[in-house]
Amino acid sequence: MDTVDGFILTRHWRDMPSGTVVDFWLATDQGAKLMRRSDVVSVSFAPAKYQSDVEAVTSTMPDVSVKHLNLLDFSGRPILGIYSKHFRQQEIIEKALKARGVPVYEADIRPPDRYLMERFLTASVTVQIKHPADDILLNCKVVPNDTYRPDLKVVSLAIEADEAGALRLISLYSPGVSTVISLEASDELHGFDLPRLSEDFEVIQVGDHAEMIRELNHWFRKNDPDAIVGWNLIQVELRVLQIYADRHNVPLKLGRDGSLIDWRANAAKEGSYFATVTGRVVVAGGEAVKTALTSFMSATLDDVVEALLPGVTRTEHPHKRSSGEPEPYTIERMAQLARYSMMNSLMVFRIFDEAKLLRFMMDRASVTGLQVDHFRGSIAAFDHQYLPRMHREGFVAPNVGDVAIAPYPGGHVLESTPGLYDSVIVLDYKSLYASIIRTFLVDPVGMAAVNANTDEAQIIAGINGTRFSRT
Give the up-direction half-sphere exposure of residue 367: CA atoms within 13 A in the CB hemisphere. Answer: 7
pLDDT at 52 over 80: yes
Angle at 241 between CA 235 and CA 245, to 5 degrees: 135
Q: Tell me how crowded residue 350 is: count the other CB atoms within 10 A of its CB.
A: 16
pLDDT of residue 377: 78
Written as one letter, the residue type at 19 is: G
Q: Quick one: pLDDT band at residue 18, thresholds 50, 70, 90?
A: very high
pLDDT of residue 341: 94
**Dist CA 396 CA 364 (whole Å):** 26
**Dist CA 429 CA 426 (whole Å):** 10
User: Facing residues of 229 across strands?
Assistant: 156, 283
pLDDT of residue 324: 62
pLDDT of residue 87: 98
**DSSP codes, 104-158:** -BSTT--HHHHHHHTTT--SEEEEEES-TT-SEEES-EEEE-SS------EEEEE
Mean residue pLDDT of the chain comes to: 90
pLDDT of residue 365: 96
pLDDT of residue 190: 47
Question: What is the value of pTM for the model shown?
Answer: 0.89
- Among the listed ranges 55-59, 280-284, 329-333, 345-349, which one has the minimum average pLDDT value? 329-333
Query: Do residues 149 and 7 lie in contact, with contact meaning Cβ atoms separated by under 8 Å?
Result: yes
Angle at 56 between CA 52 and CA 58, to 5 degrees: 115
Query: Do residues 85 and 14 lie in contact, with contact meaning Cβ atoms separated by under 8 Å?
Result: no
Q: Tell me how crowded residue 468 is: count the other CB atoms within 10 A of its CB.
A: 21
pLDDT of residue 193: 54
Query: Do residues 150 and 29 lie in contact, with contact meaning Cβ atoms separated by under 8 Å?
Result: yes
pLDDT of residue 403: 73
User: Facing residues of 273 across strands?
Assistant: 265
Average pLDDT over residues 193-202: 64
Average pLDDT over residues 446-469: 85
Q: Tell me how crowded residue 211 is: count the other CB atoms within 10 A of its CB.
A: 17
pLDDT of residue 319: 65
pLDDT at 172 over 50: yes
pLDDT of residue 311: 82
Percent share of the chain, pLDDT over 70 = 95
Q: Quick one: pLDDT band at residue 160, thresholds 50, 70, 90?
A: very high
pLDDT at 242 over 90: yes
Q: Quick one: pLDDT band at residue 352, thresholds 50, 70, 90?
A: very high
pLDDT of residue 464: 81
Evaluated on CA atoms 360, 259, 379, 49, the torsion sign reads negative
Helix (H) or strand (E) holding 31, with range, is: strand 31-40
* pLDDT (tens digit per residue) in 441-453: 888 999 888 887 7
Q: Quick one: pLDDT band at residue 154, thresholds 50, 70, 90?
A: very high
pLDDT at 191 over 50: no
Percent share of the chain, pLDDT over 90 = 66
